[in-house]
Amino acid sequence: MFIKRFYLIVNILALFILGCSKENQDKPDIIVDIKVSKNGYQPSNITLPYGKVVLFRITAIDEGIGEDYTAQYYGHCFYILPPYDVGVYNIKKNETKELKVKLIYPGNHIFTCPYCSGIFPTKGDLHIK
């Protein structure tokens, strides 16, 4: 009797763990490749469908605010303003960083590089329909 209950509990736990695996949940529905430089983002105007998981792949094509990799801030970044409030930072020249986002806030949003704001025209529009 004990062994049957033990196997039942183990099977239930295994199903729970496998069912809650983030592997399928984290799979992006859409991949968006973005280039960032001192001239801005390319593309700088992006429209995406509401409710999808998007993988943004951001590649810096120049050194941004600098190449001193010992500094706290260097290169470029990609930041989506609130309500998303997510980003990737310190992207070196010729480096690509990824950011996965579930688009749960419809409307018009802004993405930017806070490092370059006020120095270079690094701002873009994100439209969630």
Name 96's bridge partners.
59
103 Cβ contact partners less than 8 Å away, ≥ 6 residues apart:
48, 49, 50, 51, 52, 53, 54, 128
**pLDDT tens-digit readout, 7-51:** 445 444 444 443 444 444 679 999 999 999 999 999 999 999 999
**Beta-strand relationship, 96-102 and 107-112:** unpaired
Report which DSSP code applies to 43. Answer: S
Per-residue pLDDT for 117 more than 90? no
Domains in the chain, please, with CATH?
23-128 (2.60.40.420)
DSSP secondary structure letters along 49-112:
-TT-EEEEEEEE-S-BT---TTSSS-BEEEEETTTT-EEEEEEPBT-EEEEEEE--S-EEEEEE
pTM of the model: 0.77
